[in-house]
Amino acid sequence: MNLRIGQGYDVHKLAAGYEFWLGGILIPYELGSVGHSDGDVLIHAICDAILGAACLRDIGYHFPDTDNAYKNIDSKILLQDTLELIKKEGYYINNIDATVCLQKPKVKDYIPKMRDVLAEILEIDKNTLSIKATTTEQLGFVGRREGVEAHAVVLLIKE
């Protein structure tokens, strides 16, 4: 059995006039994620963790922001495509642990739905997908509500 650990990180600026997509769901908020795609920082971090674990580079390599095919794309599609990339290499996901860092909005009530949505896309049991949220105690760009960041760690298995 071949085990691979991958770590992912992403950050997006928050601004008025954008939707706030997080973990595959739309969250009502006065600010949204600025990005070439829908700006779903959590999905992007998970994609990078998965791709990194399989030594398949990163999300920007596979889905570059210079390609208009990905302009305003639903990040759930990127996640599905990422899963297909690792399946071709013979990997499957054992578990994911992710953390979202944002001052506002409070997202704890949305986490169960995020887990449902992401687990279905990734074809994993939702009990193998941990999503946590934290603030930065009003420190830094996250604390000033200028941006949102996410971290993810994944364990892949190849038998």
Closest CA to 142 of 27, 1, 7, 9: 9
Window from 8-17, 61-70, 115-124 with minimum mean pLDDT: 61-70
CA angle 19, 31, 52 (to 5 degrees): 65
Nearest to 47 by CA among 33, 37, 62: 62
11 annotated ligand-binding residue: yes
- Measured at the CA of 64, the angle between CA 58 and CA 68, to 5 degrees, comes to 155
What domains, with CATH codes, occur in the chain?
Answer: 2-158 (3.30.1330.50)
**Strand spans (E) along the chain:** 2-15, 21-22, 25-26, 32-33, 91-101, 129-134, 147-158
Question: Does residue 115 have a known ligand-binding role?
Answer: no
Say whether 62 counts as a known binding-site residue. no
Distant-in-sequence contacts of 17-20, Cβ < 8 A, 24+ apart: 20/105
Q: Is 134 annotated as contributing to ligand binding?
A: yes
The whole-model pTM stands at 0.97
65 among the known binding-site residues? yes
Answer whether residue 85 shows pLDDT above 90: yes
Averaged pLDDT of the chain = 96
* 159 annotated as a binding-site residue: no
Measured CA to CA, the distance from residue 137 to residue 118 in angstroms comes to: 28
In this prediction, residue 70 carries a pLDDT of 87
pLDDT in tens, 18-53: 999 999 999 999 999 999 999 999 999 999 999 999
pLDDT band with cut points at 50, 70 and 90 for residue 159: confident
pLDDT category at 128 given cuts 50, 70, 90 is very high
